Amino acid sequence: MKVKALKFKINRAQEKITKERVLALQKAWGESIVAIGKVYTEGGDYKAAAIEHIENFYNYQEGSVLFKPTLASQKQFRNDFAGALSYFIGGDENYPEDHGFAIKHWKKVRWETIGIKIIGNTALSMGNYYFLPASEAEELKVEYSFAYTENHRGELKIILHDSHLPCKHLT
């Protein structure tokens, strides 16, 4: 099965970073996560889809990305491409706790952005995002803080991804 590319297009006419661009990137990121799961369930090349997702949304091409994925606790900080890929699809012996977050077959990703702060060539965003499983069981609520910058081609890319499950108070 051939992978159908999911491309994220932006206006590269030296456009400034705006809240609208950040929100559009977030929406496209969620759609891409859903697409990876779909490719996986249809028996396609989900690894290629995940690689494309990382290349489209993260700025590993220009250096490290501060990546702290939701369900990682043993090696929770991932500063390289291989660590991010393992989180999304699993199968890397260096990250045995990874089971492939993106191949769980999410039906929808919904964002609840609490705020976006733009400082020069960087945007910071935080809030909750919700992952709806294909079974339409209860949504998974995840807290996030992301930072974005423009790469050398003017594409908006993630340089910090920090997400985690909400803390439950100890009693």
Listed residue (91, 87, 112) closest to 101, CA to CA? 87
Would 99 be classed as within a structural domain? yes
- Whose tokens are 């490719």? That residue is 39
Query: Considering the entire predicted model, what is its pTM?
Result: 0.86
State how many domains the chain has: 1
Q: Looking at the domain assignment, is residue 4 inside a domain?
A: no
Per-residue pLDDT tens digits for 24-73? 999 999 999 999 999 999 999 999 999 999 999 999 999 889 988 887 76
CA 92 to each of CA 7, 35, 136: distance values in angstroms, whole numbers, following the listed order: 26, 21, 29
Predicted pLDDT at 124: 98
Tell me the CATH number at 141: 3.10.450.50
171: in domain: no
Tell me whether residue 48 is in a domain.
yes
Domain that holds residue 96: 19-164
Question: What pLDDT sits at residue 169?
Answer: 62
Reported as a single tens digit per residue, the pLDDT across 77-107 is: 888 899 999 999 998 898 888 888 899 989 9
For residue 1, is it within any domain? no
Q: What is the pLDDT of residues 121-165, one digit of tens each?
A: 999 999 999 999 888 788 999 999 999 999 999 999 999 999 988
